A and B are shown apart, each in its own frame.
Chain A
Amino acid sequence: MPETTTYTLRLGLEGELHDVKVEVPKGEPKPWDGAVKLKIVGRATPRIDGPRKVNGEATFTHDVRLPDMLHAAILRSPHPAATIEHIDVTPALKRPGVKAAIALAKVGGRVRFAGADVAAVAASTRAEARDALAAIEVRYKVEPFVVDLHEAMQPGAPQVHEGEVKERRTEGDEPSEGGDARRQGNVRMNPSLSKGNTGKGLRMAKVTHEATYATQVHTHSALETHSVVIRWDGPKSMTAWCSTQGIFSVRDELANIFDLKPADVRVICEHMGGGFGAKFGASAPGSRMGWAAGELARQTKRPVSLLLDRHEEHVCTGNRPSSSQRVTLGADASGKLTAIHVVAHGSAGVATGAGVGNNAFGIYTRCPHIKVESHDVFTNAGPGTAFRAPGHPQGAFALELALDELAAKVGVDPLALRLDHVEHPIRRRQLEIGRDRFRWAERRREADARRARGARVLHGVGVASSIWGDYGRKGAAVVTVSVDRAGAIEVRNGVQDIGGGITTVLGMVVAEVLGRPLAEVRVLVGESTLGASVGSGGSQTTSSVAPAARNAAEAVKGQLAELAARLLDRKSAGEITWGEDGSARAGSKSLSFAELCKKIDGEAIVATATRPETYSSYPMRHPGGPFYQIAGVQFAAVTVDTWTGVVKVPEIVAVHECGRVHNPLTTRSQINGGIMLGVGYALMEERILDRGSGRMLNPNLESYKIAGARDLPAVDIILTEVHTGANSTGAIGIGEPATIPTAAAIACAIHHAIKRPIRTLPITPDAVLAALQGGA
């Protein structure tokens, strides 16, 4: 019996479809391709959980209030490097309201960044808990520290770590990255990406460009800070509420810490206020919150709520690492690239993960010789962690601006240079579509003319690309669909909705398959007991969950068809056809959906399903594996006030794809969010560490600046829908691709405007004025 079925699917860019044979595991429904006509999936649909969020009914972890609940607070090291000589938490126990106090650091142990865990208390109120921290006695032996990337690379720099450094990876990290590495001093070399011979490529070059590009440390700054509430339900079981991107990562961490069976840890994340890669597990990357809350709850036998404040959120919950990238490009006289060589150093503070992504390696692949080397440089700073497209925005910034500088040297249009080197057919079409929509050539000419006449406010345009992989996972999400005798439809899965809109998409997919209105589908998500699911990292939520939901709904429908066949006196379910309203038909006879459901044997038809490994990557594979490569491009327009250095971004044209667009409204919302993040990264967000004290000087949202309403461009989104045949619904990801090219495109546009490159992010007015004066 064959293990697979071969279907001929209509795949490719919507409107330019081709017949492609795809082998699909037996039992899978025929994948939704470009030929299928859907009624609900693909329609712009408001979030079904939207009203609850807007009217305040939605419960976030910060809102959880349990009977007898205590509040915890954590004492953090004021020193960036120190050995703990003495620690006594007992004085805190005498303070008002305090019920328990525990040390999180050990005597003789080292703290390696300002903000590291030292001790924790639980008290009746949050204010009492915070006040009691001052009573904890700690004696530190203060040690030399280093917070600057370049100083940390010098011989004789204070050593951040003594022994081997284990890489911490989460579901937020890109699956293709990582590997073994060795450490020398504070520098740890990561595996490189390489093809051809860059030395040879550079020797062949007629024009070369070499420069160093630097990016800042970027903190996640989710609206809801890291938070966990833990209640022990028995000696070996607990319930945890957590603001998380990965409900099952929370379960597994707590089970591991407290030696429980995973099934005895129930995790709830009904709603959450943002996650960009730092919210995996019950703890934060730089704070053992899960252990602290669980242990305090165990000792007091009361539920404990531990919510970080904004200062803590900035210093110990992860960040996008910095980078300093030496980029060398070679080209022939016409601008054909002969070599791309990137040597990157970056600091994820005390942690690893300062790579620079696939941009230099995987986008402009007509260049024959490419090498990307990256190094982690340890500093006494809070740990980096996955942050929306780890490595990519920094890699895109360096590569794309370097390409623009090379294009200027050679005298070619930077967009033409990109079109000359892109192989992915969808990305090529996106560049062409964007070029026309943005009026690239016309705007370039206008900007050049404005500069030539010595205008005060200069204009510029830039373009940059994104690369990401279809990381939708087999078997990770197990979705249950049920239809009961009353006709009630329910879909259940333990996925968290981090804002991408999976709740609504689940309902839409099931409604589509069963031919019923979305309003009739009850969607249950946000709790581990609802069935295994995937973490929301790597842009894999929709592509892991939606196909599983379709498969489960199709299984239910199959059983309904068998029932209908019996009731309508047919031999097999295959003789049943379905009406648009979910009614079952055979010849002249039919049964409405309600009539059919009434005849269900027992209470309900229930089916559970997941999805298999991706079965197609049409039309372009990702360089990291046998899965589809997701393309995207953004065009940015900037204005630069030469009197003040202030840059504004009036417009961004974003051309993206995410396979079949399941819900255009939430897809566009994700792209809007990615661009907002990218504008902030380009122009203002930056963690400032004081070199004198190792403390973060802007641990707030006042001097750590995130883009506000007036900073945002008019965003023109073009969705180039692609049918890849990757899974049963055709979903692939968008969350991360949407933020990758934004800062790069803005930096390129500024370069175009002022004819001088600004090679350090963020591009603040001081940097612009310095660049303008530098050439005077």
Chain B
Amino acid sequence: MKPFTLIRPSTLTAARDRVGGAPDKRVLRAGGIDLIDLLKEGIAGPDELVDLKAIKGADAEAMRALAAEGGGWSIGALVTLAQIAESGLGDAHAVLREAAGSAATPGIRAAATIGGNLLQRPRCWYFRHQGLVCLKKGGDACLADGGENRSHAILGGGPCFIVHPSTLAVALVALAAELEIVGDAGTRTSPIDKLFALPRVSPMSEHTLAAGEVIRRIRLPAGAAGQRSVYEVAKARQSFDWPLAEVAASVVLEGGTIKSARIGLGHVAPVPWRAVQLEEALAGQTPSAELFARVAPLATAGARALGQNAYKIPLTQGLVRSALHRACGIAVPD
């Protein structure tokens, strides 16, 4: 691991200024979970870590707060996964609480922040291998395409086939969250979907933040009456594992019918994936086990399997069915 200097600026502006000019040499540190992995694996080698946890003042307060706000919620970028998992998010926003409680381990959740979770790098084993140079590390080909790709993308892939690692992002997509981003030009607001970029747009980076931009807060819009949201995941190992696939579903029920639904899929695409066709097919329908079974295949419309990941198609559909059952209050069949 390359030695680095830890810088502890006292304001967000100072932190941003510090990294702004040289984003490869100076990187922001929040929980430091993924960053330490990247340093140890030799994938990142910055000279300086600029510690966001050191900042003080109004920005720091905003970035650490988890509070109800106008029927919705404001979640600072430095709020930990453990805080979210233990928070009072209600039925409408429960998907985020469930997702946060499912990720990683208790130890990691106690330190990992939601901001860091959204911006962590992919877990692709070619990308993470110190001895291999893939497309994402400046090589000329995706090594998973034609290689060992059981955990790779079935949707939105190419030329790189990573899956986005953030579980919380999938939940935020289902909740139509907005980000408050601070940059040189001031503060801007962005829908969560716009934070992420497909590899065909940006093979080297998974997000669209400009140099020096920092996520300050995440806002969850107020839940509609009759809104319920749930998270479903399948893992090969039940203790500390990354998802094989995951589904975040937010459904608004009105008078016995589904008024609207937002469905996010995780670990199936290089970005948190919205299952738009499925959402459209659900709108206006009366929820039932038969409906869920019939429309679940729409979740993976357009999926293209590589050699070893075709299982993600039925798996995702199965998770969608479970999620819809729970979100609509219809018991999952035993």
Contacts and interface: CB of A to CB of B under 8 A. Distances in A.
Interface in A635-670: 641-646, 648
Interface in A421-475: 455-457
Nearest to A696: B129
A764 B236 CA distance: 6
Given A645-B311, A765-B244, A692 B143 contact: yes
Contacts of B333: 455-456
Contact of B238 (A690, A691, A711, A773): A711
Contact of A690 (B148, B241, B244): B148
A710 interface: yes
B240 interface: yes
A455 B308 CA distance: 27
A683 interface: yes
Contacts of B151: 703
Contact of B322 (A643, A684, A690): A643
Size bracket, chain B contacts: 35 or more
A683 B238 CA distance: 11
Contacts of A114: 131
A456 B315 contact: no
A691 B332 CA distance: 41
A769 interface: yes
A241 B129 CA distance: 32
Given A765-B234, A765-B315, A766-B150, A456 B334 contact: yes
Contacts of A770: 310-311
A589 B322 CA distance: 80
B72 interface: no
B224 interface: no
B64 to A, nearest CB: 29
B284 interface: no
Given A457-B334, A693-B132, A646 B235 contact: yes
Contacts of A773: 314
A469 B199 CA distance: 57
A645 B125 contact: no
Contact of B241 (A78, A705, A709): A705
A697 B126 contact: yes
Interface in B102-155: 123, 125-126, 129, 131-132, 143, 146-148, 150-151
B318 A644 contact: yes
A695 B132 contact: yes
B147 A769 contact: no
Of the candidates A641, A643, A697, the one having the most CB atoms from chain B within 10 angstroms of its own CB is A643
B308 A766 contact: yes
B152 to A, nearest CB: 12
B125 A643 contact: no
B311 to A, nearest CB: 4
B5 interface: no
A692 B139 CA distance: 15
Interface in A306-352: none
Interface string A680-692: 0001100010111
Contact of B239 (A457, A708, A769): A708
B311 A769 contact: yes
A683 B126 contact: no
Contacts of A165: none
B68 interface: no
A306 B102 CA distance: 38
Nearest to A647: B236
Interface string B239-273: 11110100000000000000000000000000000
Given A643-B321, A646-B234, A766 B125 contact: no
Given A645-B311, A690-B148, A697-B148, A708 B318 contact: no
Nearest to A115: B131
Contact of A684 (B132, B236, B308): B236
Contacts of A127: 1
A372 B232 CA distance: 46
A707 B237 contact: yes
Contacts of A212: none
Of the candidates A456, A644, A691, A773, the one having the most CB atoms from chain B within 10 angstroms of its own CB is A644
A698 interface: yes
A666 to B, nearest CB: 24
B218 interface: no
B239 A765 contact: no
Interface string A250-268: 0000000000000000000
Contacts of B319: 643-644
A117 to B, nearest CB: 16
Contacts of A688: 125, 148
A366 to B, nearest CB: 39
Interface in A384-402: none
B133 to A, nearest CB: 10
A711 B239 contact: yes
B140 to A, nearest CB: 13
Interface in A744-775: 764-766, 769-770, 773
A381 to B, nearest CB: 14
Interface in B34-72: none
A145 to B, nearest CB: 15
A684 B1 CA distance: 30
A555 to B, nearest CB: 50
Contacts of B242: 702
Contacts of A457: 334
A129 to B, nearest CB: 13
Given A688-B125, A698-B125, A645 B234 contact: yes
A708 B104 CA distance: 13
Nearest to A454: B333
Nearest to B309: A766
B334 A697 contact: no
B243 to A, nearest CB: 11
Contacts of B126: 690, 697
Nearest to B311: A766
Contacts of A769: 311, 314-315
A46 B314 CA distance: 49
Contacts of A697: 125-126, 129, 148
Contacts of A707: 237, 239
Contacts of A456: 332-334
B121 to A, nearest CB: 14
A709 B237 CA distance: 10
Contacts of B310: 770
A455 B331 CA distance: 13
Nearest to A764: B236
A670 B151 CA distance: 34
A708 B311 contact: no
Contacts of B131: 78, 114, 693, 695
A22 to B, nearest CB: 48
A643 B150 CA distance: 18
A692 B149 CA distance: 12
Contacts of A646: 234-236
Contacts of B143: 690, 692-693
Nearest to A643: B318
Nearest to A700: B128
A455 B334 contact: yes
A204 to B, nearest CB: 42
Contacts of B235: 646
A592 B236 CA distance: 62
A158 to B, nearest CB: 19
B313 to A, nearest CB: 9
A127 B150 CA distance: 34
A703 B123 CA distance: 9
A703 B41 CA distance: 14
Interface in B315-334: 315, 317-319, 321-322, 332-334
Interface in B144-170: 146-148, 150-151
7 contacts: A455-B334, A641-B318, A644-B234, A695-B132, A709-B239, A765-B234, A769-B314
Given A78-B131, A695-B132, 6 more contacts: A456-B332, A457-B334, A644-B318, A644-B319, A711-B237, A770-B310
Task: Report, nearest first, the 7 A-B pairs whose CB atoms are least far apart.
Answer: A708-B239, A643-B318, A766-B311, A710-B238, A644-B234, A697-B125, A710-B239
